[in-house]
Amino acid sequence: MAFSLASLGTGATDPLAFTVDVTRFSQFAGQSQVNLSSQTGFPAGALVSFAVGSTGDISGIYSNGANRIIGQLALSTFVNAGGLLRQGQNLWTPTANSGDPITGTPNTNGRGVVSTGTLESSNVDLAQQFTNLIVAQRGFQASTRVISASDELLQDLVNIIR
């Protein structure tokens, strides 16, 4: 069996021509399977984990021991970061005041740095928040006592009138 293919965009001027001898092929009824007779590279592997480097490279770690870069983080800066519109839950939207995002790789042209293996600490002072909670609780208790005292006075006034 002979057939030919167009150049497939490889820049070749002549089409690719093939001749395949199928006279020695045979198949039995049932499911078929392809078996490798030789292998020149890694065996097939599945993505097990990934890691993010300080340059923003995302490396895939595969079950066959291979490590490959599978992605790149991108960071954006704005001409006027104060002009971004707050959407809530750490989401911001560009506006006419902020300008268009200037996107690129981390740690270049004033963009932020990716810190791997770190944990962001809380930006809340727990001692101050607990103090504020106790002050609010004491204020609520004082308010309930004032209401109870005024209720007792009104009750006594009603009893005197009877």
Residue range 28-82, pLDDT digits in tens: 777 777 776 766 777 778 899 999 988 889 999 999 888 999 999 999 999 998 9
- pLDDT tens sequence across 107-154: 888 888 888 888 877 788 889 999 999 999 999 999 999 999 999 988
- Considering only CA atoms, give the Rg of the chain: 36
Number of helical H runs and strand E runs in the chain: 1, 9
Residue written as tokens 């740690």? 107
Cα–Cα distances in Å, from 40 out to 37, 43, 45, 69, 131?
10, 9, 15, 21, 68
**pTM of structure:** 0.47
In this structure, is the dihedral angle defined by the CA atoms of residues 63, 67, 70 and 76, taken in order, positive or negative? positive
CA distances from 87 to 8, 84, 123 (A): 48, 9, 20
Q: E strands of the chain, at which residues?
A: 2-5, 16-19, 47-52, 57-62, 67-72, 75-77, 85-88, 91-93, 102-104
